[in-house]
Amino acid sequence: MISCCTPLAGATLSDGDAAELERLFRVLGDRHRVKILNVLMRAAGQAVCVCEFVDRLGLAQPTVSYHLKQLTDAGLLEREKRGTFAYFRVRPAAMERLHGLVEPVADEPADLAAELPAG
């Protein structure tokens, strides 16, 4: 019998890990939140004032605050109050956790398509 595909090794995610990823992907399913995260990642660990996002995103301050709250509640950001302004930075542990959940296991192929026979 000829097999048409390379057999899958099986799921490496537990139900709990899959639920965690689902929650994170839901939060990141908004382009404004992805842009906020991108700006913060490029800030290399430095805190960025909420006021910076208003002009950069072209959104009203309450809308920016809403998106920042969603990212913070998901555990992706840290919030720091300085006077009347809030500053945000990426939580490195959260990024490491996210990477760990989506990174292929070392002994599994990263790209199954590359392993499939041509044709």
CB 86 within 8 A of CB 50: yes
Write down all domains in the chain, each with its CATH number in brackets. 15-103 (1.10.10.10)
Averaged pLDDT for residues 1-14: 67
Specify the pLDDT at position 22: 87
Ranges of H-type helices in 4-117: 15-27, 31-42, 50-57, 61-73, 92-102, 112-115
Prediction pTM value: 0.73
Structure-token match 């920016």, residue found:
64
Residue 74 has pLDDT above 70, yes or no: yes
Tell me: the pLDDT tens digits for 51-62? 899 989 999 999
CA distances (Å), origin 113, targets 7, 22, 102, 106: 12, 24, 17, 17
In whole angstroms, what is the distance from residue 35 CA to residue 55 CA? 13
Residues near 99 by beta carbon (within 8 Å), at least 6 away in sequence = none
Residue 36 has pLDDT above 90, yes or no: yes
2-11, 30-39, 89-98, 104-113, range with greatest mean pLDDT: 30-39
In whole angstroms, what is the distance from residue 85 CA to residue 73 CA? 18
Residue 85 has pLDDT above 70, yes or no: yes
> Residue type at 11?
A
Q: pLDDT confidence of 3, banded at 50, 70, 90?
A: low
